[in-house]
Amino acid sequence: MSTKQVMMFKVNVTDRIKITPKISVLTLLASLGAGMVTIGIIFLLSGVNPLFAFYKIFSGSFGSFYGIKETITKAIPLILIGGGLAMAFRAKFWNIGAESQLLMGAISGTWVGLSWGPHLPAVVIVPLMFLAGFAGGALWGVIPAILKIKYAINEVISTLMMNYICAEFMIFLIVGPWKGKTKFGFPYTDDLPATAILGLLPGSRIHYVTLLLAIISAILLAIVLYKTRFGYEVRVIGENPEAGRYAGINFFKTTLIIMAISGGMAGLAGVGEAAGIHHYLSYPDSISSGYGYTAIIVAWLAKLNPLFVIVSGLFFAGILVGGDAIQISLGLPAATVEIFNGTLLVFLIMGDFFLKHKVRLVWSKPNQT
Amino acid sequence: MKKIEHLEMVDISKAFHGIPANDQIRISVRSGEILGLLGENGAGKTTLMNILYGLYQPDSGDININGKPVKIRSPLESIQLGIGMVHQHFMLVQNHTAGENIALGYKQTPFFFPQKKVNDRIVHFSRKFNFVIDPQKKVWQLSAGEQQRIEIIKALFNGAELLILDEPTSVLTPQEIKDLFVILQKMKAEGHLIILISHKLDEIMELCDRVTVLSKGKVTGNAETKKVDKKTLARMMIGRDVIFNIEKEEMPKSKEVLEVNHLCVVGDKGHPMVKDISFNIFQNEIFGIAGVSGNGQRELVEAITGLRKSDTGSVHINGQNITNVSPRVAYDSGISHVPEERIKFGIAPGLYLYENAILKQHHLEKYTKNKFLTYKNIKEHTSHLLKTFQVMAPSIHVQTKNLSGGNIQKLILGREISQAPSLLVASHPTYGLDVGATEYLRKQLLKRRREGGAVLLVSEDLEEIFELCDRIAVIFQGEFMGILDAQDSRLADIGMMMTGSTRIESTL
């Protein structure tokens, strides 16, 4: 046997026994920081001064009156969807289908608006549209839940695939039966009647009814999750489904309700986008621009707490708006924002690992034989 | 390839977290011999064999092959030395064919068209040991016996001289067991060395030449099977003669609480696991079910607590029929349950102590008002539980997973007892706990008995069974081998009953 003296190190990973709020905040800041540095390197590689880029992002989103208004506008769907996703992820139901749950909400809300809007006053038609939107999103969310529980079909696949189904369905509607008579052959539906269009804060695109709805529902969801028996059962199932079964919790019923809420929240966001911003249905990617995916990161950044989703929703809305700003001012490609978001998510998830584990490098001599 | 003529393990010791699993163990086996390794679950058999197979490193002790010491640092090295192991749970890729599974891990498998070469050799081995295997069949289509043969062939492909079989008969039908024994006898005649891990006396007596008995990590006996009877082996396995040493007050037999009638339950794999079991439990009584785990205890308990549907038969509590009700109805009818594998079933590890302290009770009126949890009551209840049941925790605001096993178990027991259930079902309640926690939990069970509760205690620990129980049932392969009063002298044969060798007419 040869006896080479090589210093070796191994990585020693142990569970962190006590997670204090201080450590939570520090890991959050550290992972955001590390993510920013990485993004900075990417900026550098594409020939942009990262500090200037970050300054532009900030000034474009939070640093100007116009920026703030736009940020709040984009935060509305993110808060709504993020709150619903936080609930689903708490129950360990990996809902990747918020994008199409939003579209379903937009479709059913628009349908109600177009059909009954002309005959009803705003105070009746607007709530009806939100109800319909919630129902549409909820229906679209419940289907994968049933598939998972009854037939053990992985929800990541089914929710993702349903995004494509819904997008194609929507295109079918706008080029086919719902194609507007007043749109000169463009693949849009007709405009919603005036009573069905959501009011805006003067000088902005903020449809305040939806904003109010987003904040109220975030608070309500937090109360449901932390104060009610139902929320308790959701958290037990998410932590340990076996313990849930042992405790007599009805897994089927709980998961259905959770996915109805999660899909329904996205549906509300869809109504907001359709009736507050666009006023008619057009191609799926112009109605949503990926809110359903961005909201996944929003929910994680909020540590799956619906209340914190308000803050993280604003944060990511800022990145979206700031991203648009640097695309214009620095001539960066449209994918910049997606790279930005993806990189941050990776670092947030890594941060979670370091939050839950202690990692040490241990230097060791080779074993003596 | 070196041939193994003789292998010995000398003074092997191995501890996990300070608890010895193997203590100065010696075994030896030579070519053309089948060695039985007998012992209850947790006796250290599997640990010892995992050391031989290179999965664990011993803390001390030597392994000698043909008199020369060897180091086995990994399964790869052990395979190179000619050692093969067939695990209790087969390590096969279900969606691949038998041939592909064998080719995987076989060094000489060619990169292109591996099946061809492998299939030829499979046919060769099948002829040699006279069994049939279709290499084209997918693993999931095969019976347990056929899968086991694939595992054996895998070991032989890699040139195994010494074959270790861990509880090989536990998943087989009687006919498959016979076939396996024929194969093993043939291999023995070919000069192979075989080590058979088992807790079944009958198969050890039938198949093995010699037997080494382990109990609680130590060798408690060595014998040639021709010169020993089952009774002596059973005694070696339990480690001592059965002593009656009960310090609990006499309790008058009173009202019947639980009645189980001709219950049959099917297990996860679709086999019958509980076969026509009937018994009853009275107030002020602890009813024990002794037996090696995996003999239907889990399925029986799950059927009583509502976690599993039974096939036929009935369960009544206080005269009320609760056959196949949901866990919640079973709980509300008065059945509390301290589950086995406490972390897996008994708690939500990431939730706070006070949230786990009401698991299963959270729907009761004192903890839920108008769909909202009443955290004030819950926290008071938790503080009270911690005090009453001596749960050591920094506060009720810690995640439950940070508590030690003993403290988690005290919390679960406290939670389950605090509602004064008619029947407390406790599965292996002291498994893996230290002496202090064990004693405390046992005292709590006795206290429950004194206060008028009925207790169903499932345990592998005979000491615990004898110390606590009023009546004892011994379970083997889903059947009661007898229900005896704790004073019954025939309990001296409990080892024989646990291994299915003796069936005793129930006294009660």
- DSSP sequence for B297-337: HHHHHHHHHTSS--SEEEEEETTEE-TT--HHHHHHTTEEE
A249, closest residue in chain B (CA to CA): B328
Q: What's phi and psi for B198, nearest 5 deg?
A: -160, 160
B306 CB within 8 Å of a chain A CB: yes
Which one-letter DSSP state was computed for residue B345? I
CB–CB contact A229 B345 (8 Å)? no
The least confident of B40-44, B205-209, B324-328 is B40-44
* Residue A156 to chain B, least CA–CA distance (Å): 22
Cβ atoms A149, A252 nearer than 8 A: yes
CB–CB contact A228 B347 (8 Å)? no
B362 CB within 8 Å of a chain A CB: yes
For B364-400, how does the pLDDT look when each residue is reduced to its tens digit (9 = 90+)?
A: 888 988 899 999 999 999 999 999 888 888 888 888 8
Higher model confidence: residue B240 or residue B376? B376
CB–CB contact A232 B363 (8 Å)? no
Q: Distance between CA atoms of A189 and B37, rounded to whole angstroms?
A: 78
Nearest CB among A17, A236, A246 relative to B307 is that of: A246
Residues of B in contact with A15 (CB under 8 A): 401
The token pair at B393 is 């925790």
Q: How many domains does chain A have?
A: 1
- Identify from B371, B395, B398, B400 which residue to disrupt to test chain A contact, counting A C-beta atoms within 10 A and taking the largest count: B371
Which one-letter DSSP state was computed for residue B39? -
- Selection from A154, A188, A185 nearest residue A170 by Cα: A188
Tell me the three state secondary structure of residue B188.
helix
The least confident of A56-70, A264-278, B244-258, B309-323 is B244-258
| Helix locations, A46-195, DSSP H | 50-61, 65-90, 98-116, 122-151, 155-175
Higher model confidence: residue B173 or residue A270? A270
Residues of B in contact with A17 (CB under 8 A): 402
Q: At what angle do helices A65-90 and A98-116 cross, to 10 degrees?
A: 110
Q: What is the 3-state secondary structure (H, E, C) of B384-412?
A: HHHHHCCCCCCCCCCEHHHCCHHHHHHHH
**What's the residue count for chain A?**
369
Q: Distance between CA atoms of B13 and B24, rounded to whole angstroms?
A: 5
pLDDT surpasses 70 at B242: no
B404 CB within 8 Å of a chain A CB: no
- Selection from B299, B409, B414 nearest residue B346 by Cα: B409
Cβ atoms B393, B353 nearer than 8 A: yes
Mean pLDDT computed over B116-139? 80
pLDDT surpasses 70 at B240: no
Cβ atoms B496, B230 nearer than 8 A: yes
Mean pLDDT for all residues in chain B: 86
Q: Which amino acid is at B173?
A: T
Residues of A in contact with B402 (CB under 8 A): 17-18
Q: Distance between CA atoms of B216 and B39, rounded to whole angstroms?
A: 9
Q: Distance between CA atoms of B64 and B41, rounded to whole angstroms?
A: 26
CA distances from A67 to A192, A311, B83, B183 (A): 28, 16, 71, 79
- Chain-centroid distance of CA A133 in Å reads 17
CA distances from A305 to A235, A277, B354 (A): 12, 28, 19
Cβ atoms B27, B9 nearer than 8 A: yes
- Selection from A288, A302, A362 nearest residue A24 by Cα: A302
CB–CB contact A229 B368 (8 Å)? yes
Asked whether residue A369 is assigned to any structural domain, the reply reads no
Domain extents for chain B?
A: 6-238, 256-498
Longest dimension (CA), chain A: 92
- Selection from A291, A288, A308 nearest residue A300 by Cα: A308
Percent residues over pLDDT 90 in chain B: 40
pLDDT band at residue B1 using 50, 70 and 90 as cut-offs: very low
Q: Distance between CA atoms of A182 and A340, rounded to whole angstroms?
A: 40
Asked whether residue A273 is assigned to any structural domain, the reply reads yes
* Residue A5 to chain B, least CA–CA distance (Å): 19
Q: What's phi and psi for B78, nearest 5 deg?
A: -70, -35
Place of tokens 């929320």: A231
Nearest CB among A227, A239, A245 relative to B349 is that of: A239
Residues of A in contact with B329 (CB under 8 A): 248
Task: State the complex-level ipTM.
Answer: 0.78
Q: Which helix (H) or strand (E) holds B60?
A: strand B60-65
CB–CB contact A236 B402 (8 Å)? no
pLDDT surpasses 50 at B144: yes
Longest dimension (CA), chain B: 76
| The listed CATH number (3.40.50.300, 2.40.160.20, 3.30.70.3270, 3.40.50.720) that belongs to domain B256-498 | 3.40.50.300
Residues of B in contact with A21 (CB under 8 A): none
The per-residue DSSP string of A256-288 comes to HHHHHHHHHHHHHHHHHIIIIIISS---HHHHH
Low-confidence ranges of chain A (pLDDT < 50): 1-4, 367-369
Cβ atoms B164, B86 nearer than 8 A: yes
| Region of residue A290 (phi > 0: left; psi between -120 and 50: alpha; otherwise: beta) | left
Antiparallel, parallel or unpaired: β B454-459 and B471-476: unpaired
Residues of A in contact with B362 (CB under 8 A): 229, 232-233, 247
pLDDT given for residue A364 in this prediction = 59
Residues of B in contact with A91 (CB under 8 A): none
Place of tokens 């008028």: B452
CB atoms within 10 A of CB A300: 20
Using only C-alpha atoms, chain B has a radius of gyration, in whole angstroms, of 25
Mean pLDDT computed over B110-117? 74
Which range marks the domain in which residue A188 is found?
70-331
Mean pLDDT computed over B472-491? 87
CB–CB contact B344 A240 (8 Å)? yes
Asked whether residue A65 is assigned to any structural domain, the reply reads no
Cβ atoms B403, B411 nearer than 8 A: yes
CB atoms within 10 A of CB A245: 18
Close Cβ partners of B491 (under 8 Å, ≥ 6 residues apart): B242, B466, B472, B484
CB atoms within 10 A of CB A15: 9
Using only C-alpha atoms, chain A has a radius of gyration, in whole angstroms, of 23
CA distances from A354 to A16, A36, A347, A358 (A): 9, 18, 10, 6
Burial class (CB in 10 A: 0-12, 13-18, 19+), B158: buried
Q: What's phi and psi for B370, nearest 5 deg?
A: 50, 45
- Chain-centroid distance of CA B37 in Å reads 16
pLDDT given for residue A56 in this prediction = 85
Q: What's phi and psi for A308, nearest 5 deg?
A: -65, -20
Q: Distance between CA atoms of B361 and B7, rounded to whole angstroms?
A: 56
CB–CB contact A246 B348 (8 Å)? no
Which residues on chain A place their C-beta less than 8 Å from a C-beta of chain B? 15, 17-19, 227-230, 232-233, 235-236, 239-240, 242-248, 369
Higher model confidence: residue B236 or residue A268? A268
Tell me the three state secondary structure of residue B83.
strand
Cβ atoms B223, B233 nearer than 8 A: yes
Q: Distance between CA atoms of B318 and B257, rounded to whole angstroms?
A: 5
- Selection from B460, B442, B504 nearest residue B286 by Cα: B442
Handedness of CA B243, B244, B248, B251 (dihedral sign): positive
Residues of A in contact with B348 (CB under 8 A): 235-236, 239-240, 243-244
- Selection from B358, B355, B418, B359 nearest residue B388 by Cα: B418
* Residue B20 to chain A, least CA–CA distance (Å): 22
Asked whether residue A100 is assigned to any structural domain, the reply reads yes
The token pair at B476 is 């083997």
Q: What's phi and psi for A210, nearest 5 deg?
A: -70, -35
Helix count and strand count (H, E) for chain B: 16, 22
Kindly report the CATH number assigned to the domain that includes residue A111. 1.10.3470
Q: What's phi and psi for B389, nearest 5 deg?
A: -105, 20
Q: What's phi and psi for B10, nearest 5 deg?
A: -115, 125
The token pair at B383 is 């503080």
pLDDT given for residue B165 in this prediction = 93
B334 CB within 8 Å of a chain A CB: no
The token pair at B418 is 């605090």
Asked whether residue A307 is assigned to any structural domain, the reply reads yes
Q: Distance between CA atoms of B132 and B146, rounded to whole angstroms?
A: 9
Q: Distance between CA atoms of A52 and A55, rounded to whole angstroms?
A: 5
Which CATH number is B6-238 given?
3.40.50.300
